[in-house]
Amino acid sequence: MTAARIALDPRFTVGPIDRRIFGSFVEHLGRCVYDGIYEPGHPEADAEGFRRDVVALVKELGVTIVRYPGGNFVSGYKWEDGVGPREARPHRLDLAWHSLETNDVGLHEFADWARKAEVELMLAVNLGTRGVAEALDLLEYSNVRGGSALSEQRRMNGADEPFAVRMWCLGNEMDGPWQLGHRSAADYGKLAGMTAKAMRQLDPSVQLVVCGSSNSGMPTFGAWEREVLEQTYDDVDFISCHAYYRETDGDRASFLASAVDMDGFIETVVATADHVKSVLRSEKTIDISFDEWNIWYAARFENDERITDIETWPIAPRLLEDVYTVTDAVVFGGLLISLLKHADRVKAASLAQLVNVIAPIMTEPDGAAWRQTTFFPFALTARLAQGTVLRLEIECGTVATSVYGAVPVIDGVATLADDGSVALFVTNRHLTDVTDVTIDLGALGDVVVSECLTLADEDQDASNTREDPDRVAMHVNDSASVKDGVLTVSLPAVSWTAISLTRAGAFHAAGRSSQRSA
């Protein structure tokens, strides 16, 4: 057993939570759209072919904004293919994923789905094979009320009201050699700058995300951000970060410390953006849109249904269908903690992706939809993390890792809602030992534990599958108690925990008598 002490104080403010930090991502990739959110003929499909059971799970997950339509897919995408009468829409080869795109779902359908799922729509423009003119066309089509050629075309296609898209990504991972239209930072910066200026000229209310590096291991990482921001600083609002983590060679200790890497990644990009700010003598601050993050075992899928014979590229093949374990979900919960800890600069984030493709929600054609292990930390954090983020002062031992050296056993963050309730999110990275945590709540006044839920399992590799969809769930952690203003709680080895603290009077007034499960 190990022990930890945590100091929690409402004055340890990081910043307000931008709800867009609980975003996700739907790409035309594998079965994310087709046989994922959209499956006409499924018993749960609505009149437009969208699965109601999936919409219900998206709402339960608490997603606020969804990035669409890619990802690598967007760099070859012609948005015009996906509007107008379905029967006239072309089938296209999707070079990114070696699939055949039917265009049965396009902008109108996805905007309808977003409305049903009660999420904001965030669009990416193609800066791989296209440029300024096509980005402007898409913006006019989406955001202009009427009276111009493309806005009238949208109205004729059935959407009288504009889609009013606020957040736009200027391409996707343009630093990656795998990207269609990949180019140097200088060339991308120039194109992104011109596109941003033009888009703002059309609609000054848009918020623009310029591509950062596709991961922090890229040889150009740092230099890419600097050069791209030097060319676009005045015309964009965010720079993107992308990061995927996985356990390699059985090194679970390092995997459990993945958030250490994410912390460093965010802080490096912030430092680079602020360096450009000072060089340019700018008053403006660029924030981060962490618009792809997750656990992804990319190597597992190198040989899956990626067909090389161009005549036989499949429609919606099973691609990147990771099945997540309890350990994956604990690390995932740690990544959410990292995003929250940087809420002063991370103002948007997209869990990549939403359904079937490295996703918290899985579906079977004509069959069920279920929650992966990673569903639970996301849903709980999105529900409980309200108001302002509070930094924690944590005193604890360390775990040795081969990748990150000695890292703290415990990581965590707290949030303070307007009604005075506090949520704590903590992870125990110890491979074998329970950690007993003591938290001084003196600065919070009279509070009680209204909920304490832990994700842990004797089998750290357990997962939810089609055959056993409810094998893993959050469990009430009844070790949590408050006495004389001190909270004590035992955190199992390899675990992630959410604790909700409510003002004593408020808790009783609400008539809540027991903890709820997720």
Which residues make up the interface to ligand AHR (CB under 6 A)? Answer: 27, 70-72, 172-173, 214, 292, 352-353
- Encoded amino acid at 13, one letter: T
Instruction: Name 153's Cβ contacts closer than 8 Å, sequence gap at least 6.
Output: 83, 141
The residue among 27 and 203 lying less far from ligand AHR, judged by its C-beta, is 27
In whole angstroms, how close is the CB of 71 to ligand AHR at the nearest point?
3
In whole angstroms, how close is the CB of 58 to ligand AHR at the nearest point?
17
- Encoded amino acid at 391, one letter: R
Own/partner contacts of 52-57, CB < 8 Å, gap of 24 or more, are: 53/363, 53/368, 53/369, 54/355, 54/361, 54/363, 54/369, 55/113, 55/116, 55/117, 57/361, 57/369, 57/371, 57/375
**What is the rounded CA–CA span in Å between residue 63 and residue 166?**
17
Taking CB positions, which residue lies at the least distance from ligand AHR? Answer: 71
**What is the rounded CA–CA span in Å between residue 330 and residue 332?**
5
In whole angstroms, how close is the CB of 296 to ligand AHR at the nearest point?
7
Intra-chain end-to-end CA distance of the chain, in Å: 27
**What is the rounded CA–CA span in Å between residue 111 and residue 142?**
10
The residue among 28 and 89 lying less far from ligand AHR, judged by its C-beta, is 28
- Catalytic residue, chosen from 101, 140, 225, 292, is 292
In whole angstroms, how close is the CB of 25 to ligand AHR at the nearest point?
7
The residue among 210 and 487 lying less far from ligand AHR, judged by its C-beta, is 210
Backbone angles phi, psi at 72, to 5 degrees: -55, -30
The residue among 142 and 172 lying less far from ligand AHR, judged by its C-beta, is 172
Cα Rg, the chain, nearest whole Å: 23
Contact 377, 384 (CB under 8 A): no
The residue among 75 and 502 lying less far from ligand AHR, judged by its C-beta, is 75
Catalytic annotation present for 39: no
**What is the rounded CA–CA span in Å between residue 379 and residue 154?**
35
* DSSP assignment letter at 463: B
379-402 core/surface letters (b: 16 or more CB in 10 A; e: else): bbbbbbbbbbbbbbebebeebebe
The residue among 170 and 352 lying less far from ligand AHR, judged by its C-beta, is 352
In whole angstroms, how close is the CB of 67 to ligand AHR at the nearest point?
10
Catalytic annotation present for 173: yes
DSSP string, 231-262: HHGGG-SEEEEEEEE---TT-HHHHHTHHHHH
For 164, the token pair is 């009013």
Contact 316, 31 (CB under 8 A): yes
In whole angstroms, how close is the CB of 505 to ligand AHR at the nearest point?
46
In whole angstroms, how close is the CB of 72 to ligand AHR at the nearest point?
4
- Helix pair 326-341, 375-384: axis angle to 10 deg: 30
Instruction: Name 421's Cβ contacts closer than 8 Å, sequence gap at least 6.
Output: 386, 447, 450, 500, 501, 502, 503, 506
The residue among 74 and 456 lying less far from ligand AHR, judged by its C-beta, is 74
In whole angstroms, how close is the CB of 77 to ligand AHR at the nearest point?
12
- Catalytic residue, chosen from 39, 173, 247, 451, is 173
The residue among 17 and 352 lying less far from ligand AHR, judged by its C-beta, is 352
DSSP string, 339-374: HHHTTTTEEEEEEE-SBSSS-SEEE-TTS-EEE-TT
Q: Which of 164, 58, 97 is nearest to 379 (CA)?
A: 58
> Which residues are registered as beta bridge partners of 410?
428
Give catalytic residues, as residue numbers.
Answer: 173, 292
